[in-house]
Amino acid sequence: LKTAVILAGGKGTRMGMLASEVPKPMLKVNGQPLLAYQVEWLKRYGFEEIWMITNHLGDVIEAYFGPGDDFGLSIKYYREVEPLGTVGGIKALEQLLQEDFLVLYGDTLLDIDFPRMLQFHMQKSAAATLLVHPNDHPYDSDLVQIDANDRITAFLPKPHEPEAYYRNMVNAALYILSPLIFPFLQQGVKADFGKDIFPKLCKELPVFGYNTPEYIKDMGTPGRLEAVTEDLLSGKVAGRNLRHLQRAIFIDRDGVMNLDKGLICHYDDFELYEFVPEAIRLINRTDFIAVVVTNQPGIAKGMYDFHDLEMIHMKMDTLLGRAGAKLDALYFCPHHPEKGFEGERPQYKVSCDCRKPASGMLLKAAERFHIDLSRSYLIGDHERDIIAGKRVGCTTIGVETGHALSMGGESPDYRAKDLLSAVKLIIDLETIHG
């Protein structure tokens, strides 16, 4: 990709102005405008041309960046006379955007390993790839629904029904778009990608969600500026970029997150332990990625289907989200090895490399999120979990809930009462060993 479009104006949408005449993208974080961080980021990943879409306050922006010479790339401007949401300016540039291009919002601070996202976009042959992530307030966010292949199947704008269950996955305002999308944009009509375009587009074209725990935050409220500055100075913004090795805490589901009632077939039977939201919130405050890895042989056994399982995970995400806790990723194994039972799904009755004690799910997560497994942890209640973790070099912690390692055999590196105690133990260990 060579071209990026930055939405740096758009009055009346999310780019509202502060009391002063400073456009939000020119707000200073640690002495430098937000937009300048974006320009530097684009330069770092080889972009050659930036289009900035501005409005009546565009003078300030143009005066600062000029033609881009000081930044080592070409910057051009398109000034909207009449603000047409997030879509209008891009539609106006249609003739100049004949290859895939990147869209970002001028009021965000971000640091994403872009080549990784681009590789995803190419592998999926996507017409559009949207950056998505879980957040700590999904109940009042616009959500996307994603299938197991990362394709976005629906947009769920807020407000949500108070009783509804949903996966915690939010569209984070960074898009790779192909020119295939242009026929869906109307010239001269005010529209917004999130509200008006993507909900329809995802039914017509392959639109994918690229889930990442990397840093991207917008200046939704003035208070955010302080938080974002703090994150920048503490190294959190750069540290989360997936070009750096990350660390994870892998968590088994049944018997660790939720009461073990045998195979859970229906979301009504899914019940989180009361200490779990606090445990996950604690992880969210560290630099560890929280990843659930769960064997779900009930799929192979024909006891429940993928939709039932998705509903269970929607409930899990929703209950956590209400408590301000989020999981960064979830992997499940639908397989089971022994064939020959009534009602089974033969295609899933196979020996796979993902069913724990195999380590396939951990390896998959490690590749996706660039995880250093030897500096990561696994928390489980079953010998299978401990073996899976040890095989790839994780430090393992056995808990006394669920199976409570009742089978004997493989010993964990540490033991803890439950998930919360295990997370506290990890935090203690990290403090001791730095």
Note whether 301 and 336 are within 8 A (CB).
yes
Nearer to Zn ion by Cβ, of 85 and 389: the residue is 389
Chain positions 112 to 151 lying near Zn ion, rule: CB under 5 A, are none
CB of 85 to Zn ion, least distance (A): 44
Note whether 84 and 197 are within 8 A (CB).
no
CB of 303 to Zn ion, least distance (A): 16
Residue 292, both tokens? 């659930």
Nearer to Zn ion by Cβ, of 216 and 354: the residue is 354
CB of 335 to Zn ion, least distance (A): 3
Kindly indicate which of the ranges 96-104, 131-139, 273-281, 354-362 contains the residues binding Zn ion, using the contact rule CB under 5 A.
354-362
Nearer to Zn ion by Cβ, of 117 and 293: the residue is 293
CB of 169 to Zn ion, least distance (A): 23
CB of 95 to Zn ion, least distance (A): 49
Nearer to Zn ion by Cβ, of 154 and 350: the residue is 350
Nearer to Zn ion by Cβ, of 92 and 352: the residue is 352
Binding mask 316-345 for Zn ion (x = CB under 5 A): -----------------x-x----------
Residue 355 as a binder of Zn ion (CB under 5 A): the answer is yes
CB of 227 to Zn ion, least distance (A): 40
CB of 352 to Zn ion, least distance (A): 3
Kindly indicate which of the ranges 21-29, 31-39, 139-147, 353-361 contains the residues binding Zn ion, using the contact rule CB under 5 A.
353-361
CB of 304 to Zn ion, least distance (A): 16
**Helix or strand holding residue 389 (H, E):** helix 383-391
- Report the residue from 354, 371, 394, 426 that binds Zn ion according to the rule CB under 5 A: 354
**395-399 and 414-416: which strand pairing?**
parallel
Kindly indicate which of the ranges 51-59, 114-122, 350-358, 408-416 contains the residues binding Zn ion, using the contact rule CB under 5 A.
350-358
Residue 172, both tokens? 């984070």
Note whether 257 and 419 are within 8 A (CB).
yes
Residue 293 as a binder of Zn ion (CB under 5 A): the answer is no
Residue 253, both tokens? 């589901």
The b-or-e profile of 274-313 (16+ CB within 10 A means b, else e) is eebbebbbbbbeeebbbbbbbbbbbbbbebbeeebbbbbb
DSSP state of 197: I
| Axis-axis angle for helices 419-433, 276-285 (nearest 10) | 20
Note whether 264 and 250 are within 8 A (CB).
no
Residue 29 as a binder of Zn ion (CB under 5 A): the answer is no
| AA letter at 230 | E
Nearer to Zn ion by Cβ, of 254 and 418: the residue is 254
Which residues are paired to 414 by β-bridges? Answer: 397
Strand ranges for 212-263 from DSSP E: 215-218, 247-251
Of 328, 307, 306, 326, nearest to 316 by C-alpha is: 326
Furthest-apart CA pair in the chain: how many Å? 73
Nearer to Zn ion by Cβ, of 355 and 390: the residue is 355
- Report the residue from 156, 225, 311, 352 that binds Zn ion according to the rule CB under 5 A: 352
Interface ranges with Zn ion (CB under 5 A): 333, 335, 352, 354-355
